[in-house]
Structure 1
């Protein structure tokens, strides 16, 4: 049984890695056609020696992007601004990322709830911004587990700033209702929200354990913010400028309709969804 589980995990990892390699080739294709111009990769130049420092890098990045403590509307868009292209895939697992010379790419699994997908995307962006095990940006003596803890701290602070939790504490509502609203507003997973609440000292370790067993329902999440937010990294499978580059390449006749649909990875499903081509008289 353990061997079967290991084999399944290895197969899932292989499929994700293979998809990532293919995704990088697709990005390279559009670059070679002159349809896509990636933004420079954002990397933190300072030293990161632990989770608090990694969380500080997330605050730095938020400042760089002019986010303050606002909720991130689209992780695909934010990652793209940092030079990383994210593809959402319908495969088991979580995600993976890589840097190929001046190009950064990542894949995120569609499985799991939207909060988990956003956490995975933020985690993969953390590997890019902080530097991974092949970089000297993260403390070189740190173990892989310690490195992952740093990246997790970055992802948590990026998605739900501790300051946002601290400000929300001033409300006279119950702690749980405040945290449910924060999780919904910032579209963060429940576990990540509780982690940030602990960091903000808004809850004790005992309260955290109790809250982990009392998961909010979908109705609670939606009702706490007026049923407004839509899931992130769901119907959107490829980054905005990548999608635009595919459509431009198709209009200009650089790629076929079937290839355009392949590159859109399910975001468009039919030739009827494609725009008119230049030879059809489109401007």
Structure 2
């Protein structure tokens, strides 16, 4: 019955009818209906055909749902999160498979830190996080996926369209964060930093629709504050902002353009942070939100353009682990390409050594 329910769910997600799916795999519609209702067993060959047509791996239909996702679905059944839920489910299964064979991927997971109850505690959490990530006071948090992987959080970016910003699942060891690659780089990085906050305080599952979209209080607002403090450390921002405005004799617009490039954030995040640390008033913050960096700014100020977490983006340590499994022939090429989620093709995989002739004769004799 569980397999049948998953077939029905996957079919509905693909937007096809029973008749359409049955015809595509050469099955009678009534037989498919009985499979979905649990009144008929499904043969392995049939399940493989169904999985291929619905673009799921076979294990998705037969393996248990990761505990964190199962718990979340039970509590939030009324929330329409189908796209990110499905993508997270797939990522979690892949990550658990890879980390079970390459446990070094998540060896850096720290002990859970306390949930921040105030804005001040959110700032302290950011300071602790920067220390865990090995960042110096004045060092910007670039290559965020690499930094997060150093503490056991695997950050992936997939284009989810006009959906949720991000979600995080805590694994048995380590964690998986999914960032919506549909948005611009500053928003993607802010969402990734926010998810790191959920991970560090050991939230089993989190789903964030709009990171930093409101002034609402609660744990989400405090983790928004944490994310801004992580990406824009207050003391360093004060010093640089003053230098950009005074030492270089530039305008506040010039300083804002330099700041967003240096820290890798968007104008809205910068404006909020400048307000938090008391460097601008509300009127100036509103003006900063409306600033757009131009091509002329990039050339004249010699700015570095980064596009972190552009979809499809996978953590580099995860990619190396998958290639290691492929080199050691633990997984096939097809499995490796699936785990790499389309970011590689067959020709991009490493060459495997030829099988010695003696081994060939052992197999064929």
TM over 0.5, yes or no? Answer: yes
Q: 2:351 aligns with which of 272, 276, 281?
A: 276
Q: Which runs of 5+ in 1 are unaligned?
A: 1-8, 136-143
Larger radius of gyration: 2
* TM-score between the two structures when normalised by the length of structure 1: 0.83
Distance 2:167 2:269 in 1: 19
1:156 to 228, 232, 252: 228
Pairing 1:1-283 to 2, within 5 Å after superposition: 11=80, 13-34=81-102, 37-46=105-114, 48-68=116-136, 69-92=138-161, 93=163, 94-132=165-203, 145-171=217-243, 172=246, 173-212=250-289, 214-219=290-295, 222-223=298-299, 226-234=302-310, 237-268=313-344, 270-279=345-354
Q: Is the 8 A contact 2:322 2:339 kept in 1?
A: yes
The alpha carbon displacement at 1:60 in A equals 1.7
Q: Distance in 2 between matches of 1:218 and 1:256?
A: 46
TM-superposed deviation, 1:224 = 6.4
**1:87-121 deviation digits (Å, cap 9, x = unpaired):** 11121221100113223111111111101110110
RMSD: 2.6
Q: How many residues align?
A: 262
Whether the 8 Å contact between 2:193 and 2:231 is mirrored in structure 1 is: yes
CA distance in 2, matches of 1:39, 1:255: 22
Q: Which runs of 5+ in 2 are unaligned?
A: 1-77, 207-215, 357-365
Give the 4+ runs in structure 1 shifted more than 4 A.
none
- Residues 155-199 of structure 1, C-alpha deviations (whole Å, 9 max, x = no match): 001111112220023222212211211111111111111111112
Q: Distance in 1 between matches of 2:275 and 2:102?
A: 48
Residues 236, 79 of structure 1: alpha-carbon distance in 2 compared, 3 angstrom cutoff: farther
Please name the residue that 1:141 is paired with.
Answer: none
Quote how far apart the aligned CAs of 1:25 are: 1.1
Contact persistence 2:160–2:182 (CA under 8 A): yes
Higher relative contact order (CA 8 A, sep 6+): 1
